[in-house]
Amino acid sequence: MEIRSFREFWPYYVGEHRSPVCRGLHYFGTSCALSLLAAAIVTGRPALILLGFVAGYGPAWIGHFFVENNRPATFKYPRWSFIADFKMLGLALRGQMAAEVTRLYGSPNPPPDAPLRTHS
Protein backbone atom coordinates (compact mmCIF):
# COMPACT_ATOMS: atom_id res chain seq x y z
CA MET A 1 0.00 0.00 0.00
CA GLU A 2 1.38 3.39 -0.99
CA ILE A 3 0.78 6.13 1.56
CA ARG A 4 0.07 9.45 -0.13
CA SER A 5 -0.56 11.92 2.68
CA PHE A 6 0.40 12.62 6.26
CA ARG A 7 -3.20 11.90 7.26
CA GLU A 8 -2.83 8.38 5.85
CA PHE A 9 0.66 8.04 7.30
CA TRP A 10 -0.20 8.91 10.92
CA PRO A 11 -2.16 5.69 11.74
CA TYR A 12 0.62 3.65 10.13
CA TYR A 13 3.22 5.53 12.18
CA VAL A 14 1.30 4.99 15.42
CA GLY A 15 0.99 1.31 14.54
CA GLU A 16 4.77 1.10 14.26
CA HIS A 17 5.05 2.62 17.77
CA ARG A 18 2.66 0.42 19.75
CA SER A 19 4.98 -0.18 22.69
CA PRO A 20 5.18 2.54 25.35
CA VAL A 21 8.88 1.64 25.69
CA CYS A 22 9.52 2.36 22.02
CA ARG A 23 7.58 5.62 22.27
CA GLY A 24 9.61 6.54 25.37
CA LEU A 25 12.85 5.96 23.49
CA HIS A 26 11.54 8.26 20.76
CA TYR A 27 10.65 10.96 23.28
CA PHE A 28 14.11 10.71 24.82
CA GLY A 29 15.86 10.82 21.44
CA THR A 30 13.78 13.69 20.07
CA SER A 31 14.31 15.68 23.28
CA CYS A 32 18.07 15.09 23.12
CA ALA A 33 18.14 16.14 19.47
CA LEU A 34 16.25 19.35 20.23
CA SER A 35 18.58 20.11 23.14
CA LEU A 36 21.63 19.61 20.96
CA LEU A 37 20.16 21.81 18.23
CA ALA A 38 19.60 24.55 20.81
CA ALA A 39 23.15 24.09 22.11
CA ALA A 40 24.50 24.32 18.56
CA ILE A 41 22.69 27.61 18.05
CA VAL A 42 23.70 29.07 21.41
CA THR A 43 27.36 27.99 21.25
CA GLY A 44 27.86 28.37 17.50
CA ARG A 45 29.11 24.78 17.26
CA PRO A 46 27.41 23.24 14.20
CA ALA A 47 28.96 19.83 14.92
CA LEU A 48 26.38 19.50 17.69
CA ILE A 49 23.71 19.29 14.98
CA LEU A 50 25.30 16.08 13.66
CA LEU A 51 25.45 14.74 17.20
CA GLY A 52 21.77 15.64 17.51
CA PHE A 53 20.90 13.32 14.63
CA VAL A 54 22.74 10.46 16.33
CA ALA A 55 21.14 11.24 19.70
CA GLY A 56 17.72 11.53 18.09
CA TYR A 57 17.69 8.52 15.85
CA GLY A 58 19.84 6.17 17.97
CA PRO A 59 17.33 5.55 20.78
CA ALA A 60 14.42 5.50 18.32
CA TRP A 61 16.06 2.84 16.17
CA ILE A 62 16.92 0.78 19.24
CA GLY A 63 13.19 0.89 20.05
CA HIS A 64 12.30 -0.37 16.60
CA PHE A 65 14.92 -3.08 16.21
CA PHE A 66 14.83 -4.45 19.78
CA VAL A 67 11.41 -3.54 21.21
CA GLU A 68 8.96 -3.34 18.30
CA ASN A 69 10.93 -5.72 16.07
CA ASN A 70 10.18 -3.64 13.00
CA ARG A 71 11.98 -1.27 10.66
CA PRO A 72 11.83 2.46 11.40
CA ALA A 73 9.25 4.29 9.29
CA THR A 74 11.92 6.85 8.48
CA PHE A 75 13.54 4.37 6.07
CA LYS A 76 10.54 4.52 3.73
CA TYR A 77 8.89 7.84 4.67
CA PRO A 78 11.66 10.09 6.07
CA ARG A 79 9.83 13.43 5.84
CA TRP A 80 6.54 12.26 7.32
CA SER A 81 8.33 10.22 9.97
CA PHE A 82 10.32 13.27 11.05
CA ILE A 83 7.13 15.33 11.35
CA ALA A 84 5.33 12.48 13.14
CA ASP A 85 8.13 12.24 15.73
CA PHE A 86 7.34 15.79 16.80
CA LYS A 87 3.58 15.22 16.69
CA MET A 88 4.00 12.15 18.89
CA LEU A 89 6.22 14.05 21.35
CA GLY A 90 3.72 16.92 21.46
CA LEU A 91 0.86 14.54 22.20
CA ALA A 92 2.95 12.85 24.90
CA LEU A 93 3.82 16.16 26.55
CA ARG A 94 0.10 16.96 26.70
CA GLY A 95 -0.65 13.50 28.11
CA GLN A 96 -2.60 12.49 24.99
CA MET A 97 -0.45 9.93 23.17
CA ALA A 98 -1.77 6.84 24.98
CA ALA A 99 -5.31 7.99 24.15
CA GLU A 100 -4.30 8.40 20.51
CA VAL A 101 -2.92 4.85 20.37
CA THR A 102 -6.12 3.62 22.03
CA ARG A 103 -8.25 5.57 19.54
CA LEU A 104 -6.45 3.99 16.59
CA TYR A 105 -5.69 0.48 17.94
CA GLY A 106 -8.00 -0.10 20.91
CA SER A 107 -5.36 -0.09 23.67
CA PRO A 108 -2.47 2.11 24.85
CA ASN A 109 -0.20 -0.94 24.37
CA PRO A 110 -1.82 -3.00 21.60
CA PRO A 111 -0.33 -6.30 20.44
CA PRO A 112 1.50 -6.32 17.10
CA ASP A 113 -1.44 -7.98 15.37
CA ALA A 114 -4.09 -5.52 16.62
CA PRO A 115 -5.86 -4.08 13.58
CA LEU A 116 -6.40 -0.41 12.92
CA ARG A 117 -9.85 0.59 14.12
CA THR A 118 -11.84 1.60 11.06
CA HIS A 119 -14.05 4.09 12.89
CA SER A 120 -11.13 6.25 14.08
pLDDT of residue 119: 61
pLDDT range class, residue 41, cuts 50, 70, 90: very high
CA distance 83 to 7: 12
pTM of the model: 0.92
User: Looking at residues 80-92, what average pLDDT do you find?
Assistant: 97
Give the count of alpha carbons within 13 A of 98, CB side only.
6
pLDDT of residue 108: 94
pLDDT of residue 2: 86
Mean pLDDT of the chain: 95
